[in-house]
Amino acid sequence: MVIEMKVIAKIHTDFPTKFGIPRQSGLIEELKGRIVFEPEFRSPDAIRGLDGFSHIWLLWKFNTPESIKSLTVRPPKLGGNVRMGVFATRSPFRPNNIGLSCVKLEEIDGNELIVSGADLMDGTEIVDIKPYIPYADCHPDATGGFSKDGTDRLTVVCDEKLLKNVPENKHSALIKVLELDPRPQYQDDPERVYGFGFAGYEVRFTVEGPVLSVKEIEKLT
Domains of the chain with CATH codes:
9-137 (2.40.30.70), 155-219 (3.30.2310.20)
Confidence of residue 65 (pLDDT cuts 50, 70, 90): low
Mean pLDDT of 38-44: 96
pLDDT tens track for 131-178: 999 999 999 998 888 876 666 799 999 999 999 999 999 999 999 999
What pLDDT is stored for residue 11 in this prediction? 98
Residue 37, pLDDT above cutoff 80: yes
Which residues make Cβ contacts (< 8 Å) with residue 198, sequence separation at least 6? 14, 15, 20, 166, 170, 174, 177
Three-state secondary structure call for residue 51: helix
Burial of 53 (0-12, 13-18, 19+ CB in 10 A): middle
Q: Which residue has the higher pLDDT, 76 or 123?
A: 123
Give percent of the chain with pLDDT exceeding 90.
Answer: 72
Q: How far is CA 65 from CA 33, 68, 156, 204, in A?
A: 22, 9, 32, 27
Q: How far is CA 134 from CA 47, 53, 63, 102, 138, in A?
A: 19, 10, 29, 12, 5
What pLDDT is stored for residue 91 in this prediction? 83
What pLDDT is stored for residue 30 in this prediction? 96
Confidence of residue 64 (pLDDT cuts 50, 70, 90): low
What pLDDT is stored for residue 209 in this prediction? 92
Residue 80, pLDDT above cutoff 90: no
Is 179:153 a contact under the CB 8 Å cutoff?
A: yes
What pLDDT is stored for residue 2 in this prediction? 72
pLDDT tens track for 174-197: 999 999 998 877 777 899 999 999
**Integer Cα distance of 156 and 213 in angstroms:** 6
What pLDDT is stored for residue 146 in this prediction? 82
pTM: 0.91
Query: Could you tell me which residues are beta bridge partners of residue 32?
Result: 116
What pLDDT is stored for residue 168 in this prediction? 94
- Dihedral sign for Cα 131, 134, 136, 139, please: positive
